Amino acid sequence: MGVMRIGHISIRVMDLEAAIRHYEQVVGMRLTHRDGEGNAYLKCWDEWDKYSLVLTPSDRAGFNHVAYKVAGDAELDQLAEKIKGHGLAVEVLPPDSLPACGRMLRFAMPSGHEMRLYAQKECVGTDVGSINPDPWPDSIRGAGVHWLDHCALVCEFDPAKGVNKVAENTRFFVDALDFFQTEQLTVGPEGALQFGSFISCSSKTHDIAFVGGPTAGMHHISFFLDSWHDILKAADVLAKHRVHIDVPPTRHGLTRGETLYFFDPSGNRNETFAGLGYQAQRDKPVVTWTEDQASRGLLYHTGVPHESFMNAYT
């Protein structure tokens, strides 16, 4: 077994204290650590590792890196060779390069986004424990998200120049990291160009997604909720806290997920995502959405393009 699941994401925020309040009081995470460099680390109540979100102070919002957890330390060495075999440079970071985390591989995806792989992180347990646990803790705040579910990255896409980093990232993740594709959005003559790609390393509909854009960036980070009812409650929480909602509760055609999009105080887009959608398996045929149905694939209920959802990212 190689890559198991998403481990954490590191993002830039312009007001650290405002960001911590947002992710604790609105999203429902808990601050677990601050380091000497001014970074903040948070976890969701149903996660057992020490953190899944790293907030770094900056003068602009956006993406630092995404990290995935692998099955063991030996897999790191094997994956390093596979990554190098695809022409990418790999740096080995020593243990505690990030707090409570073992040694990591650091490299850039074909799209230029930084990615890390690690095998060990301090386990602190879920907020309900592992012995005779209750279904949820009494300490839930805000939307009460369960865990960091996935992220969606914007990759350079310019057919006129022959640039399609969505397709390059997909090939790399499948060939080097042993992910598999679940869905895609195709555009251009006879759907020859891959504009969106959803890939998984588990039974989830996607553990990461790529979508085309003029420059590289981050479209959103997503947190899991149980049900459509929880999505509606999250919208109530956002309204109560006067948080700007980008896309109100709806369903995706892609992945069948029930969804709600909003922004943190720095402008990083968040999603709460619910519903299994379907069980992703390696032998399941890839679902394809065509260009004429792209808006319905993204926003199934209305099928109407949403300008900020398509064009705003950090």
Active site residues: 150, 206, 220, 252, 261, 271
What token pair was written down for 9?
Answer: 């994401």
In SS3 terms, the chain reads as: CCEEEEEEEEEEECCHHHHHHHHHHHHCCEEEEECCCCCEEEECCCCCECCCEEEEECCCCEEEEEEEEECCHHHHHHHHHHHHHCCCCCEEECCCCCCCECCEEEEECCCCCEEEEECCECECCCCCCCCCCCCCCCCCCCCCCCEEEEEEEEEEEEHHHCEEHHHHHHHHHHHHHCCEEEEEEEECHHHCEEEEEEEECCCCCCCEEEEEECCCEEEEEEEEECCHHHHHHHHHHHHHCCCCEEEEEEECCHHHCEEEEEECCCCCEEEEEECCCCCCCCCCCCEEECHHHHHHHHCCCCCCCCHHHHHCCC
